[in-house]
Chains A and B, each alone.
Chain A
């Protein structure tokens, strides 16, 4: 699905990622954990194509294609989905409009015709119920005036409708109360499938109580300093990040 090899990324002259290696197979859930400033967000941004970053070395291959060479919208149409840490408010563009534009772009990209208006509504309304959202949300402007929890739920709604192959969740748990976290997690869990992979970028272990990862990687100072199973997350919760950062510094 995704193969990241020796990836080095800078912002201006400042190196942020210093040789990331990561293999993600279909159906796997990988959690990327790390303290603030470790490069977690940079990793999710670089995978989704945000500008302002320079790749100085290494590669990221998605389904056999050079991911880093594609504009963001092509990545998205190819099935890469970034759930934003801070979803952007787009006043004046309704949720349903954006969903339709997005879905039809994907279909066009794959040589399919535009989605039928009735089928589209049936699809969207089904997903809205799944996420326990009010249908009125569809007709409101994208994220405008939404609470933190509503915004995150909206991200998952988009994900559920666009059916990506690789889902990158950037600090999805931040700003969520426990009820919203449950709903969002259930939404993500319902999307798990053998051909869909997840990368969850998170500071806290909390989210992983609800979405069980297959692998946990710890990012510090731009490198993966430790990888392991779900138990690693619990260890981090207990001991914090400093023991790993120290270990790396002395290594």
Chain B
């Protein structure tokens, strides 16, 4: 018996499921079936679930978002896409969740490095074999209803494999473009960086005008002593819903950094979970900007499973108008994870009386010899700083804009890929009052 908010989806997706199941190899067919069973019994997450109490997903029940269709003619202007697609990266483009060879730029990848459509990879016995112990291994579909939904119904996505000791000279960008309206775009990404490799990857989510829902689940495996930086730039359309999950498994001594820019969408949620093995390190950064009636949710979980792990987390939010931002950050230090060093911070800037920030840092510590801290602030612009700038000739409005921008720019400045930095900077400036902010001077 399906729960209310998912039964209409299960009915409407029956044919899609049958088709996908038909195309899948045996193990994947089984996974899809199990995921569907899970989705049937739990449905989409409900507000009674503590992890979802701030996330209102009633829009999914009100509108039935049908599966996005693979369209032969591409409604994406390559010139327009250049605003997001980096010229100095290898890029793989998904249009409405389906791989577009035409828009992707993958020439010159080093031998052994694979960046491909996930559907194609699963159709090839050799690469499918590599995926058997990866897909649904960094996250399981019992994690939540969106993961179950995604696992049952994803049609395509991205498969990235970076072999051992490979140090990539350029970043790899995964560009998700949404062109259709009233559809659900379900993508799955699997990134495997083998031992001692180094890579920077970017996931960009961008949409045209439409109201669509994007469900994007990524699994990342960072091998022993490998170093992976993953940027997420979420600039979905104003009417879009975005449910993203990034689930990471770090091997011993692995380093993982995630920079999460949550700027678009009407309702956008991002979950980032990482499991740290012995002496592995992670850095989670985030910037969420909410204007108008945007609701932006960020949930992170850092699981220190083994000793000597280090985690650093800083999420900053700027909320204006009637926007709402949520930060739920959880750090779990297992009994075995002695000498863990963890610091979590969340800072929120409210620009309007109607804006809201909900922040909930949680530390769960089962080891007894650890260094863990967290700090949270929710505040307005500092009057002392405004006066300081005024005393330096800057008018009050510009001072406010400068300080708002500066607050956000701390996160933008961490981005060391120049072309990406400029894209993000442009997107941040688009969303905020910028009277008096001169980009050329930055």
Among all A-B residue pairs, the 5 with the closest Cβ atoms: A92-B406, A72-B390, A105-B393, A88-B388, A102-B393
B393 and A82 contact, CB distance less than 8 A: no
The chain B residue sitting closest to A106, CB to CB, is B393
CB distance from B415 to the nearest CB of A (A): 14
- B390 and A49 within 8 A (CB): yes
CB of B66 within 8 Å of the partner chain? no
The answer to whether B407 touches A92, judged by C-beta atoms less than 8 angstroms apart, is yes
Chain A residue at minimal CB-CB distance from B388: A88
**How far is A100 from B442 in the complex, measured between Cα atoms in Å?**
10
* Interface pair A71/B395, CB less than 8 Å apart: yes
Contact yes or no, B406 A73, CB < 8 A: no
- The smallest beta-carbon distance between B361 and chain A, in angstroms, is 21
Residue B30, interface by CB 8 Å:
no
- Contact at B396–A71, with CB atoms within 8 Å? yes
List residues of chain A with CB within 8 A of the CB of B406.
90-93, 141
For chain A, give the interface size range.
Answer: 20 to 34
Known: A72-B387, A87-B388, A101-B438. A162 touches B393 (CB 8 A): yes
Most chain B CB inside 10 Å of its own CB: which residue of A75, A87, A98, A109: A98
Instruction: Identify 13 residue pairs between A and B in the complex whose beta-carbon atoms are under 8 Å apart, listed by A's number.
Output: A49-B387, A51-B383, A76-B391, A77-B393, A88-B388, A90-B389, A90-B403, A92-B407, A92-B413, A101-B436, A105-B395, A162-B392, A162-B393
Most buried by A among B382, B387, B403, B442: B387
**A93 near B395: Cβ-Cβ < 8 Å:** no
Q: Does A84 contact B (CB under 8 A)?
A: yes
B401 to chain A, nearest CB (A): 11
Residues of B within 8 A of A73 (CB): 390-391, 393-396, 399
Contacts of B53 in A (CB 8 A): none
Bound Cα distance A94, B442 (Å) = 8
Which residue of B has the minimal Cβ distance to A45? B387
Using a CB-CB cutoff of 8 Å, which residues 45-90 of chain A contact chain B?
Answer: 48-51, 71-73, 75-77, 81-82, 84, 87-88, 90
Confirm or deny: B410 has a beta carbon within 8 angstroms of a beta carbon on chain A: yes
In the complex, the answer to whether A91 meets B410 with C-beta atoms within 8 Å is: yes
Across the interface, which residues of B come within 8 angstroms of A101, CB to CB?
392-394, 398, 402, 436, 438, 441
Query: From B407, which residue of chain A is reached at the shortest CB distance?
Result: A92
Q: B345 contacts the other chain (Cβ, under 8 Å)?
A: no
Distance of A110 from chain B, by nearest CB (Å): 11
Chain B binding surface, main DSSP class:
helix
Within residues 196 to 234 of chain A, which ones have a CB less than 8 A from any CB in chain B? none
A83, closest chain B residue (CB): B391
Chain A nearest CB, measured from B44 CB (Å): 38
Q: Does B409 contact A (CB under 8 A)?
A: yes
Binding site for B on A (CB under 8 A): 48-51, 71-73, 75-77, 81-82, 84, 87-88, 90-94, 96-98, 100-103, 105-106, 109, 141, 158, 162
* Bound Cα distance from A75 to B394, whole angstroms: 11
Q: Is B385 an interface residue (CB 8 A)?
A: yes
Instruction: Give the distance to chain B from A75, nearest Cβ to Cβ, in Å.
Output: 8
Identify which of residues 394-442 in chain B touch chain A, using a CB-to-CB cut-off of 8 Å.
394-396, 398-399, 402-403, 405-410, 413, 436, 438, 441-442
- With A and B bound together, what is the CA distance between A98 and B385 in angstroms? 12
A51 CA / B383 CA spacing, docked (Å): 9
Pairwise interchain contact A92-B384, C-beta atoms closer than 8 A: no
> What 1/0 flags go to B360-402 for Cβ under 8 Å of A?
0000000000000000000000111101111111111011001
Most buried by A among B383, B393, B399, B408: B393
Q: Are B394 and A105 in contact (CB under 8 A)?
A: yes
Q: Complex formed: what's the CA distance from A8 to B409 in Å?
A: 42
Supplied contacts A72-B387, A73-B393, A90-B406, 6 more A-B pairs, CB within 8 Å:
A49-B391, A73-B396, A90-B403, A101-B398, A101-B436, A141-B406
Please give me the residue from chain B that is nearest to A50 by CB atom: B387
CA distance A221 to B387 in the complex (A): 26
CA distance A109 to B395 in the complex (A): 12
Contact at A97–B388, with CB atoms within 8 Å? no
Minimum distance in angstroms from A156 CB to a CB of chain B: 13
**Chain B nearest CB, measured from A196 CB (Å):** 17
Question: Quick check: B392 and A102 within 8 Å, CB to CB?
Answer: yes
Instruction: Find chain B residues with CB under 8 A from A90 CB.
Output: 385, 388-389, 402-403, 406
For the complex, give the distance between the alpha carbons of A81 and B393 in Å. Answer: 9
A94 to B409, CA, bound (A): 11
Q: How far is the CA of A88 from the CA of B382 in the complex (A)?
A: 10
